[in-house]
């Protein structure tokens, strides 16, 4: 029997598991706010100042090359937008 941690990244032995867990949590929050805002993809992309490719990579879980700071900034921008509603 093998035991699992709370992070799939730790479970598979990635050297940057803690950072990837932080990123995954940030992306999860970003996507939740996106869903709650109900804005079209093009508008979210414009708000976050991303290219379509960058945004779609984030949505698809391909965020390993995006710095934590950038993800935190995206979350802050969207939270601010959400608070205005």
| Interval 23-29 mean pLDDT | 96
Encode pLDDT of 48-59 as tens digits.
999 999 999 999
Which SS3 state, helix, strand or coil, does residue 85 take?
Answer: coil
In the structure, what pLDDT confidence band is assigned to residue 11 with cuts at 50, 70 and 90? confident
Tell me the C-alpha distance between 9 and 27, whole Å: 15
Tell me the C-alpha distance between 30 and 15, whole Å: 25
pLDDT of residue 36: 94
Report all structural domains of the chain as residue ranges with CATH numbers, in order of start: 8-83 (1.10.260)
pLDDT of residue 1: 56
Largest CA distance in the chain: 49
Q: How many CB atoms within 10 Å of residue 51? A: 10
Ranking 2-11, 41-50, 57-66 by mean pLDDT, the lowest is 2-11
CA distances in angstroms from 52 to 38, 44, 56, listed in the order given: 17, 10, 6
């Amino acid at each position: 029997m093998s035991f699992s941690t709370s992070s799939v990244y730790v479970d598979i032995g990635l050297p940057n598991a803690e950072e990837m867990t932080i990123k995954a949590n940030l992306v999860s929050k970003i996507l939740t706010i996106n869903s709650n805002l109900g804005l079209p993809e093009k508008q979210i992309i414009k708000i976050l100042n991303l290219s379509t490719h960058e945004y779609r990579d984030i949505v698809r879980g391909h965020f390993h090359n995006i710095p934590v700071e950038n993800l935190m900034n995206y979350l802050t921008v969207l939270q601010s937008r959400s608070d205005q509603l």
